[in-house]
Structure 1
Amino acid sequence: MIIYNITINIHESVHDTWMAWINEFYIPGMLNTNKFNKARMVKVLVDEDMGGITYSIQFESPNAEVLNQFYREDADLFERESRKKFGELMLTFKTELALISEH
């Protein structure tokens, strides 16, 4: 399993609009690509010097091949939509994580 992690810092001025969009469009849309088995969203419990509120959204993909298929077929749409809606009020970085063990 590969975890596709998106860390997002969202400006307070658009937080509520962003939160609704994430829950109504972004996460369901990502899951509807059928490239992820499940998603979780967590709040990062640290105060950022730059302000804003930070979240991590983690999508579980069965393997690297399926995740690469997502990059080829779907990623640009989600990137364009989020930039169009929130622009510079949303800062993101993405990482791929491999699950080693669960206890």
Structure 2
Amino acid sequence: MFLYNVTLILEDSAAKEWLQWMQETHIPQVMATGMFVSNRLLKVVDSPNEGVTYCAQYVVDSLENYNQYQEVYAPALQAELNERYKNRFVAYRSLMEFVPPIS
């Protein structure tokens, strides 16, 4: 299992509108691709950055599904984000693997 994490730092003036758009539009679109098994949206409380910081996290069960998402779906979804909030955010994306507990 893998966790695809997108950390976004938004200008204060864009944060409220972005949050609504994420919850009502973007996250449902990402989940509708069928590539992810779950998601969550978190607000960073102790961010050292100016603005508002959120993390959108998506759980994917295979690298194949992640790679397919990146190749087929991500370009259009990211383009919509970039167009809608141009110059009002910075995003950092990372893929993490779940580490099983030691038995």
TM-score, length of structure 2 as denominator length: 0.93
Residues 53-88 of structure 1: CA deviation (Å, up to 9, x unaligned): 001111001110110000110000111000000011
Aligned to 2:60: 61
Aligned to 1:74: 73
Aligned to 2:2: 2
Aligned to 1:16: 16
Aligned-pair CA distance for 1:101:
3.2
> Which 5+ residue runs of structure 1 have no aligned equivalent?
none
Q: Any idea what SS the aligned residue of 2:5 has?
A: strand
Aligned to 1:84: 83
Q: Any idea what SS the aligned residue of 2:48 has?
A: coil
> How many residue pairs are counted as aligned between the two chains?
101
Aligned to 1:34: 34
Aligned to 2:100: 101
Aligned-pair CA distance for 1:40:
0.6
TM-score, length of structure 1 as denominator length: 0.93
Looking at structure 1, the residues matched to 26 and 96 of structure 2 have their Cα atoms a distance apart, in angstroms, of 20
Looking at structure 1, the residues matched to 39 and 77 of structure 2 have their Cα atoms a distance apart, in angstroms, of 15
